[in-house]
A and B are shown apart, each in its own frame.
Chain A
Amino acid sequence: MAKKRVVSIKLNGDPVEFLCEPRQTLLEVLRDTLDMTGTKEGCSNGNCGACTVLMDGRPVTSCLVLAVEAEGAEVRTVEGVACGSHLAPVQQAFLEGAALQCGICTPGFIMQTEALLAENPSPTEEQVRFYLAGNLCRCTGYDKIVRAVMCAADKRRAAMDD
């Protein structure tokens, strides 16, 4: 078996070290080694976006990233989105807009939306749909998700103006 490596990352703001095999994906390590099960596994081949996390601010599918590749990176998962017990505007908007049913796609959508709104605080509906194209949902039919994202964008802007 290939030698295990020590990998150091920043996870949701905190320095974290873990031991992993080269063949383990970041998704596997997050869920199985670090017990951060908020990030979901859907397809494990890059198609569904359920495993989306932010690496150095950019959304990536963590099932297609080897954990050893994350050395030195800043990783953000859905566990790092809320502020204490206060949901972030994006989470609040998904909840209020009933933008989920089974919920397995939700952490991926939340992270992708976080990245979208950081890049473009006032997206059009078309821009939202295009940016979220790498996230699949088998339950909602997407409309409620898109509306929640638009609503989250409004909330975030309002919060920033305060």
Chain B
Amino acid sequence: MRDFDYAVPSTLTDALALMAGASVARPLAGGTDLIDHVRTGRLAPDLLVDIKKLPELNRLEASPSGLRLGASVPCWKVIASTEISRDYTALVDSCRIIGGIQIQNRASVGGNLCNSGPAADSIPSLIALGAQCVIASKDGTREVPVEAFCTGPGKNVLQPGELLVELKFPARAVRSGSHYRRFIPRNEMDIAVVGVGASVTLDESGQRITDARIALGAVGPTPLLATDAAQALIGQAFDEVAIAKSVAAAKAIATPISDMRGTAEYRVHLVGVLLARVLKAAVARARGETFTYQPGH
């Protein structure tokens, strides 16, 4: 593997100084993508800054004002969190299918986002749940909504010297529920052919949608916020008519490529199938029903 130096700072200030200093510095969280990318030569860093010891990046704080998730928190901790399982369920659905158990024990949600793969399983959930990225550099801090973070396959808004510190989620609304699922030809350990995340809020009767956010993965160069698909639901009774309108709007913004995982036409079709299932599951959860996502079923 390429020769590089390694630093493990204990404060965010030190980490940001290191990120700004070396010619090519990369932050190292779980390393499950990074180490492979260095080995294959796709990335050529001179310095890896291990960010797993930074308190700000290890935060997992759920409070009435929302959730703060440090960028280096590994998937297993997200899965094990009772608060995230209860209130941000789509994110747990995602983390449970990112790689196998060994990968989930290392890989972080922040890393999955910063890798910015069009098919990354956590990103549609982050978008559906309304997460904001808190980005720091030695010059200050800025916030970017997750749907504006990725700019192309493997590309995002991070500038040299910047570091994703945490993801901030709004408090879960009453009578809301969320879900993420993907289609793969096997039961586990694969890359999404299409992934769909949604979060919905219901009125007091539990029949009408008052708010919705929908996100699509693997159908464009970046994960997409499907605004029109959500608008098609808001104010409507949740029934097959509303679902069909939402599905049509979602399919309209999907611009997938054809590759070995599926043709563009097939992927557009999958958007419809998955979105209908995701909405039904999210609504069931919003109604307080138990819906357990069993991948492969």
Residues on A lying within 8 angstroms of B by beta carbon are 1-3, 5, 21-25, 44-47, 49, 52, 55, 58-61, 63-66, 68-69, 71, 112, 115, 129-131, 133-135
A129 vs B31: C-alpha distance when bound (angstroms): 25
Can you offer 20 A-B residue contacts whose CB atoms are under 8 A? A2-B4, A23-B3, A25-B1, A45-B40, A46-B36, A58-B105, A59-B101, A59-B105, A61-B32, A64-B32, A65-B31, A65-B106, A66-B6, A66-B48, A69-B50, A129-B187, A130-B188, A133-B187, A134-B189, A135-B100
Contact assessment for B102 and A45 in the assembled complex, using a CB-CB cutoff below 8 Å:
no
User: A9 to nearest B CB, angstroms?
Assistant: 15
| A131-B101 contact given A1-B3, A22-B48, CB 8 Å threshold | yes
Query: Does residue B39 face the partner (Cβ distance < 8 Å to A)?
Result: yes
Query: Hey, which chain A residues are within 8 Å of B241, CB to CB?
Result: none
Using an 8 Å CB-CB cutoff, how does the interface string of B157-197 with A read, 1 for contact, 0 for none?
00000000000000000000000000000011100000000
Query: Does residue B35 face the partner (Cβ distance < 8 Å to A)?
Result: yes
Q: Which residues of B, 1-51, contact A by the 8 Å Cβ criterion?
A: 1-6, 8, 28, 30-32, 35-36, 38-40, 48, 50
Minimum CB distance partner of B6 in chain A: A22
Query: Hey, which chain B residues are within 8 Å of A5, CB to CB?
Result: 6
Query: Hey, which chain A residues are within 8 Å of B99, CB to CB?
Result: 46, 134
Using an 8 Å CB-CB cutoff, how does the interface string of B66-107 with A read, 1 for contact, 0 for none?
000000000010000000000000000000000111110110
Query: Hey, which chain A residues are within 8 Å of B2, CB to CB?
Result: 23
Query: Hey, which chain A residues are within 8 Å of B30, CB to CB?
Result: 64
A64 vs B28: C-alpha distance when bound (angstroms): 11
Residues on B lying within 8 angstroms of A by beta carbon are 1-6, 8, 28, 30-32, 35-36, 38-40, 48, 50, 52, 76, 99-103, 105-106, 187-189, 295
A45 vs B40: C-alpha distance when bound (angstroms): 9
Minimum CB distance partner of B52 in chain A: A69
Candidates A59, A66, A129; contact of B102 at CB < 8 Å: A59
Total A-B contacts with CB atoms under 8 angstroms apart: 90
A135 vs B102: C-alpha distance when bound (angstroms): 9
Contact assessment for B32 and A46 in the assembled complex, using a CB-CB cutoff below 8 Å:
yes
Candidates A2, A69, A130, A131; contact of B3 at CB < 8 Å: A2
Minimum CB distance partner of B186 in chain A: A133
Candidates A1, A22, A64; contact of B36 at CB < 8 Å: A64
Minimum CB distance partner of A116 in chain B: B101
Candidates A1, A23, A68; contact of B1 at CB < 8 Å: A23
Contact assessment for A45 and B31 in the assembled complex, using a CB-CB cutoff below 8 Å:
no
User: B19 to nearest A CB, angstroms?
Assistant: 17
A58 vs B76: C-alpha distance when bound (angstroms): 10
| A115-B101 contact given A46-B32, A66-B31, CB 8 Å threshold | yes
- Give the residue among A47, A52, A133, A135 with the most B Cβ atoms within 10 A: A133
User: B289 to nearest A CB, angstroms?
Assistant: 22
Contact assessment for A49 and B31 in the assembled complex, using a CB-CB cutoff below 8 Å:
no
Query: Hey, which chain A residues are within 8 Å of B6, CB to CB?
Result: 2, 5, 22, 66, 68
A69 vs B106: C-alpha distance when bound (angstroms): 11
Query: Hey, which chain A residues are within 8 Å of B101, CB to CB?
Result: 59, 112, 115, 131, 133-134
Query: Hey, which chain A residues are within 8 Å of B36, CB to CB?
Result: 45-46, 64
